[in-house]
Amino acid sequence: LEEGELRDPHQEFFVREQGTSPELLWEEGYVFIEELFPSFLGRALGKIVLKVGKGINFLRTCCGDTDFTQPEEVKGQLRLLRELGATAHPAAPERDLVDALVDGERDEID
């Protein structure tokens, strides 16, 4: 996931890839599996993850843009985010950090 590709051989992730043509990639390429989504995160975050993943794959597949993310840079940013969460909320569960990150986006998720 950190490299923008969905590899889920055991189908345990809450987003599932559907084989489809590039023309239908946005509408039919991926589905949100409600039963697999961790309820403690909140459905709004799951929809954000789905849209971000769809966007990355759309750019890669339909637009030929393969150079827009640097995996090492992304990994570093994820590490920094985890560290910031640990220092900002040392006793709080991760959910507080996630809620703070998506608080303003909830109304815009369809």
Most confident option among 2-11, 49-58, 62-71, 96-105 = 49-58
10 inside domain: no
Q: Which of 20, 44, 51, 46 is nearest to 33 (CA)?
A: 46
Instruction: Name the residue range of residue 55's domain.
Output: 15-108
Determine, yes or no, domain membership for 68. Answer: yes
pTM: 0.51
Identify whether 7 is part of a domain: no
- If you search the block for the tokens 């843009």, which residue do you land on? 65
Distance of alpha carbon 68 from alpha carbon 58, whole angstroms: 12
Domain presence at residue 1:
no
Residues 27-35, mean pLDDT to the nearest whole number: 83
Is position 56 within any domain? yes
Among 48, 4, 6, 56, residue whose Cα is nearest residue 26: 56
Share of the chain above pLDDT 90, in %: 0
